[in-house]
Amino acid sequence: MGNRIQEFLDQEDLPKPSGVDGTPLPASVVLPDPVIVQELAGMLHRKTFTVVKVLMAADIFAGPSHALDFATARLVCDHFGVAAARAGGA
């Protein structure tokens, strides 16, 4: 699944909208594995639908309450230019 997202993100120039209330993106985030889409959006200071849109564009149909594995969540973070680390240092 992760390769499909990476291939899409390499090909497409998806918009990187400003954060909720104009909040800038964080430099990095620490992600649990798995992470819920809505939680990931909050960590990135993006609206949930923005994260869902990135996933849908890569043919991954996940709603706000769906769990993402670390690799998929990291690729979403990469799309926004945010470094991602796994919680617990694994």
In DSSP notation, the chain reads -HHHHHHHHHH--------GGGPPPPSEEEE-SSEEHHHHHHHTT--HHHHHHHHHHTT----TT-EE-HHHHHHHHHHTT-EEEEGGG-
Confidence at 17, pLDDT banded by 50, 70, 90: low
30-70 pLDDT, tens digit each: 999 999 999 999 999 999 999 999 999 888 899 999 999 99
- For the question of whether the overall pTM of this predicted structure is more than 0.95, the answer is no
CB atoms within 10 A of CB 35: 24
Please indicate whether residue 50 or residue 14 has the higher confidence score (pLDDT). Answer: 50
Task: Provide the pLDDT for residue 58.
Answer: 83
Mean model confidence pLDDT for the chain? 84
- β-partners of residue 17 are none
